[in-house]
Amino acid sequence: MVTVESRDPLVRERVAEALLELGGSAVEERPAGLATYLRPSPGSADEAALAAAVTESLRGRVGEPDLPVTCTWVPHEDWTARWKEGLGPRRVGERLLVTPSWCEVTEREDVHTVVIDPGMAFGTAEHGTTRGCLRLLQQVVEGGERVLDAGCGSGILGIAAALLGAREVLGIEADADAVPTARENVERNGVADRVRVETGRLSAPDVPPLGPFDGVVANIETAVLRTLVPGFVGALRPGGWLILSGILREEWPAFAHELAGAGLVPVADDVDGVWVSALLRRAGAA
């Protein structure tokens, strides 16, 4: 078992992704940090050496040189089954239910079920930024929209938009390893006729030629969002909506001021723990 200590939300997010890249089946959140289970390489038995190797790997992936790492050998168990025990269906807002594929749920006409298995791709309803975006999507998707999901990760937001009624969703994801997972999730949820996932690293000038869009959703992080906002505005139809997340609460006041200066009108925000998700509209008649 590998444990990494950190209480910083952004660092924890990067550490979680790095631990999955190292071979962890899932990452367990703990008050002081994160834990996962790695299969040892043949002949390895030195806990200190393994901890040093993990520390070096995290330094390259996360950029934090002094994260405390502890490695301990534990008896073999079916860890895949063990971490599944802590995950189940989660109701998000009035009209969405997010569930892993191994759970049985009762279908309801007024609730759309999104089936997402945790994996290498970021994006399950276990994270506050994802939940915030899902709740805000339910406020704006009325049916027939063309939507961009920038940095789509697991595809959960684009899938939800399609289930809520969007006629076309384009998902763009920079991580080529995450794209097959997103496409599998799209197929699993029966929305492949409306959701397309492509590999790509967006910059602001790249976005407008992809439009026009009725709505854009981007769950990334504030520093990246800042660079992309002009492109999002240029790709939106007048009156179109924009959902942004990955914003820490302390970052939101200054960022909200910048967004107003970019011609975006605030509509609503969703606070979930330390995270803010924001719904805005492009100024102008729809």
CA angle 14, 16, 19 (to 5 degrees): 110
What SS3 class is residue 256?
A: helix
Q: Provide the whole-model pTM.
A: 0.77
Per-residue pLDDT, 52: 77
Structure tokens at 236: 């939106």
CA distance 182 to 114: 13
Cα torsion at 135, 204, 196, 171 (round to 10°)? Answer: -30
Per-residue pLDDT, 285: 61
Per-residue pLDDT, 120: 42
For residues 137 and 160, the answer to whether their CB atoms sit within 8 Å is: yes
Residue 42: asked if its preceding bond is cis (omega within 30°), the reply is: no
Strand partners of residue 76 = none
Structure tokens at 121: 């791709």
**Amino acid in position 47:** E
User: Mind giving me the DSSP string for 173-225?
Assistant: ES-TTTHHHHHHHHHHTT-TTTEEEEE----GGGSGGG--EEEEEEES-HHHH
For residues 242 and 280, the answer to whether their CB atoms sit within 8 Å is: yes
Per-residue pLDDT, 121: 42
Cβ burial of 233 (10 Å; 0-12, 13-18, 19+) is buried
CA angle 170, 98, 22 (to 5 degrees): 75
What is the residue-level pLDDT of the chain in tens, covering all 286 positions? 788 888 777 777 778 777 776 766 567 777 778 777 776 654 555 677 777 777 777 777 777 767 888 877 766 565 555 555 556 678 888 999 988 887 777 777 789 999 987 654 455 556 788 999 999 999 999 999 999 999 998 899 999 999 999 999 999 998 888 899 899 999 999 999 999 999 999 999 999 999 999 999 999 889 999 999 999 999 999 999 999 999 999 999 999 999 999 999 999 999 998 899 999 999 876 5
CA-wise closest residue to 234 among 144, 148, 141 = 148
Strands 236-248 and 213-219, by their bridges, are parallel
Structure tokens at 94: 């009035």
